[in-house]
Each structure stands twice: as structure tokens, then as C-alpha cells.
Amino acid sequence: MRKSLQLSLTAVFAALHAVLYFVSFGLWRNWGIYLEAVEGIILGPKIGFLAALLGSSIARSLKPDPFWMFGIVAEPLSVMMAGLLARAKWKPVLALYAIMLSAYFLHPYGRTLPIWTILDILIALSISYPTARLSHDLFKTDVKRMSIALVLVSFVCIATDSLVRVFLLVPCGLYSIFPPLNTYDSLQMAFAGAAAYSYLEDAVAVLVSLIVGVPLLASVLKMKVFGKQNQ
């Protein structure tokens, strides 16, 4: 991808990421999560990470959020994982999951909080390798295979967003600095409520990837701007 095009797409996706944060309502996270998979696929892991970092940081600086650190870390990492999977690179994704899940289950709370609250994360871990294999040559594949690959990448991507937030909240101990979450009982209630929202957002992310993501990705790929460096 040409440097000028890289810069332009980074600016466009960073702006989109910020705008989707501002129009969000009724969600546990924000509408920017529905952009993450396409962002990673089109821009790649490195540029996608930068675009998401810029967009999420700018948005939260203009509209402060007491939980700002979760989105600023989770969203860029999720975009990076989507970019890696779309290029059939599964080892870094599995490494991230292994480190964060190990830290979670080694924590006393991680061993006692309901396992059903992180089922989507565990499913995403189990399908990371087949998702990467299916996404091989995504830039040259047909629309049907692209649709399946995008659905899987979107699911793993949004589950990664959840994983990073859980990692920051429990193993990293951020729950202790928020009064509504600094006891085990309150944290358990928050996990149950957040999980319900999270599973709904997983479903919406998959639906959005089919309705919006596939046509958008197909249109962008027709531009034939992706060289070996980006693919």
C-alpha cells in the first residue's frame, strides 16, 4: 500500500472510530467495536492498531469517560488481532489469549467468577486457528468465503475486546479503583450484567459484518491497492 494511501486511510478510520464513539448509546462498549474487524482487515495489524488508538484516544479526550483506559487499550489490540487473523497469522493471537487467560484464572477472582460470563472469549480462543486458516488469501477470495471469514474474524475480534477489558479489570486490578466494583459481590454482579450485553454485542457485530462489512470490504478490495506489505 502506498504511504500516502496508508496515511489517508489511517486518518479516515481514526475519524470513523471517533465518530462512532460519539453516537453510541445503549451499549456496554460503543459502536466503534463494530468497525474493528474491517479496520484491521483493510489497514493491517500495525496501521489498524494506530488508527484505532488515535480514534479511541481522540474520542475520549473530547468526551471523557471514567473507564477510558479500557477502550484505549482494548480497541487497538482487537483491531491488531483482526489484522493478524486476516493475514493467516494465528500465533500472536493465541499468545495474547494464553497470557491474558492464564493471568485471569491465576487470580483468585478469576477462579470463582462464573465461567459462563467469558464463554465467548473461550470460543474465540478455540476458533482462532481455523479462522486464520480460512482467512488465508482473503484479499483474493470469493465473496462467499469472504463472508464466512469476516464473520469469524469479527467474532474473534469483539471477543478479544472483551478479553482485554477483563484482563485489565481483574488480573491488573483496575476493579479496585472503581467504587462500584471494588468488592467481590459487586464485581460478580457487574460481570453477569456485562456478559449479557457482551453476548448481544457479539451477535450484532456478526450481523453488521454480514450486512455492512462484506460489501464495504469487497468494494475496497476492488480498488486493488493492497500490495504484499499489507497482505
Q: Where are the domains of the chain?
A: 3-221
Does residue 137 carry a pLDDT above 80? no
Q: What is the pLDDT of residue 229?
A: 42
Give residues with Cβ within 8 angstroms of 189, minimum separation 6.
none
Cβ contact 127:169 at 8 Å: no
What is the reported pTM? 0.89
Helix, strand, coil percent content, the chain, rounded in steps of 5: 80, 0, 20
Does residue 136 carry a pLDDT above 80? no
Model confidence pLDDT, tens digit, residues 197-219: 889 889 988 898 888 888 887 77
141: amino acid identity, one letter: T
Model confidence pLDDT, tens digit, residues 5-51: 778 888 999 999 899 888 776 566 788 888 899 899 888 999 999 99
Place of cell 445503549: 26
Model confidence pLDDT, tens digit, residues 82-130: 999 999 999 999 999 999 999 999 999 999 999 999 999 999 999 999 9
Nearest to 48 by CA among 24, 19, 85, 80: 80
134: amino acid identity, one letter: L
C-alpha distances (whole Å) from 208 to each of 70, 204, 223 are 23, 6, 22
The single-letter DSSP state of residue 6 is H
